[in-house]
């Protein structure tokens, strides 16, 4: 069983907390992207990143001096977003890093697929960016089915009954890289976190990011090895809703507090 999550736009450098175990698996394709972005003019880079001047200048400098093999930060500490804050890897207990290293995969427009302890450098490249690189129309075409094949767990032996299972905690921008290539026999489960309004389940982006991070930490804490175990998730007031869930979607509902989304 594997878990997929999105990266974060903001990144930081921490070369001291943990040692990187290896490099991401698709380094040859990452080098192609690095060289292509470095060869763009500043205005072309800014348009690619769809950001303000401050962020564009920061990332232009990053790509101008980028070395993909030095001053690396473990990916789980490098991404600095809401989901990662609520995952709280800096306070993982014994066994939790081992668990996420085996089960968790981060999808990335730049690196493709990243394991938690893979060494990465700060970059900016969203999967939906208009990057016509190496003859491809965009990054979805550039990566094709590489990401699906890499994240799909094909375990053999005792664990085989839980192989070809993906728990989707990624945003649509990234999960579509996987969904397009799913095969018969794959079990793909998307977790939905929301509140009920007028009979409908409503999600808000920032809270979904928080809850996805908490779900990863919860799964690492209980060392989850099968999907049914995550139904016990009850953090931040959420409960699994059997009536609204299916084999492909696990729905977690938080009781609405008047005037608030979270207590």
Q: What local confidence, expressed as pLDDT, does residue 155 receive?
A: 57
What would the pLDDT profile of 54-113 be if each residue is shown by its tens digit?
A: 999 999 999 999 999 999 999 999 999 999 999 999 889 889 999 999 999 999 999 999
| Rounded CA separation 85/196 (Å) | 26
Residue pair 104/115 in contact (Cβ under 8 Å)? The answer is: yes
Q: What local confidence, expressed as pLDDT, does residue 17 receive?
A: 78
Q: What local confidence, expressed as pLDDT, does residue 205 receive?
A: 79
- Pick 171 or 161 by higher pLDDT: 171
With residues binned 3-state (H G I as helix, E B as strand, rest as coil), the percentages for the chain, rounded to 5, are 40, 20, 40
Q: pLDDT confidence of 156, banded at 50, 70, 90?
A: very low
pTM over the 0.75 mark: yes
Q: What local confidence, expressed as pLDDT, does residue 163 receive?
A: 80
Q: What local confidence, expressed as pLDDT, does residue 12 receive?
A: 93
Q: What local confidence, expressed as pLDDT, does residue 153 receive?
A: 78
What's the token pair of residue 174?
Answer: 């990234």
The owner of tokens 């769809």 is: 50
Q: What local confidence, expressed as pLDDT, does residue 256 receive?
A: 61
Q: Report whether pLDDT(257) > 60.
A: no
Q: Report whether pLDDT(158) > 80.
A: no
Taking the CB of residue 52, how many other CB atoms lie within 10 A of it?
Answer: 9
Q: Which residues have CB under 8 Å from 109's CB, separation 6+? A: 7, 125, 126, 127, 128, 129, 131, 139
């Amino acid at each position: 069983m594997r878990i997929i999550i999105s990266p974060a736009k903001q990144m930081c450098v921490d070369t001291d907390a943990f040692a990187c175990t290896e490099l991401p698996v698709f380094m040859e394709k990452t080098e192609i992207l690095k060289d292509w972005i470095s060869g763009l003019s500043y205005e072309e880079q800014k348009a690619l990143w769809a950001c303000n001047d401050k962020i564009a200048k920061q990332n232009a400098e990053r790509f101008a001096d980028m070395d993909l093999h030095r001053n690396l930060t473990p990916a789980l500490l490098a991404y600095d977003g809401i989901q990662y804050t609520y995952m709280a890897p800096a306070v993982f207990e014994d066994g939790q890093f081992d668990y996420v290293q085996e089960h968790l995969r981060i999808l990335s427009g730049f690196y493709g697929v990243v394991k938690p302890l893979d060494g990465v450098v700060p970059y900016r490249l969203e999967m939906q960016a208009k990057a016509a690189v190496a003859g491809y129309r965009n990054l979805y075409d550039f990566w094709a089915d590489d990401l699906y094949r890499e994240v799909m767990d094909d375990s053999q032996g005792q664990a085989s009954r839980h192989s070809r299972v993906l728990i989707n905690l990624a945003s649509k921008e990234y999960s579509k890289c996987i969904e397009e290539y799913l095969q018969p026999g794959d079990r793909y489960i998307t977790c939905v976190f929301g509140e009920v309004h007028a009979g409908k389940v409503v999600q808000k982006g920032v809270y979904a990011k928080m809850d996805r991070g908490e779900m990863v930490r919860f799964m690492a804490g209980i060392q989850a090895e099968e999907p049914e175990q995550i139904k016990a998730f009850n953090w931040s007031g959420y409960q699994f809703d059997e009536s609204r869930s299916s084999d492909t979607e696990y729905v977690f509902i938080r009781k609405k507090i008047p005037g608030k989304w979270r207590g």
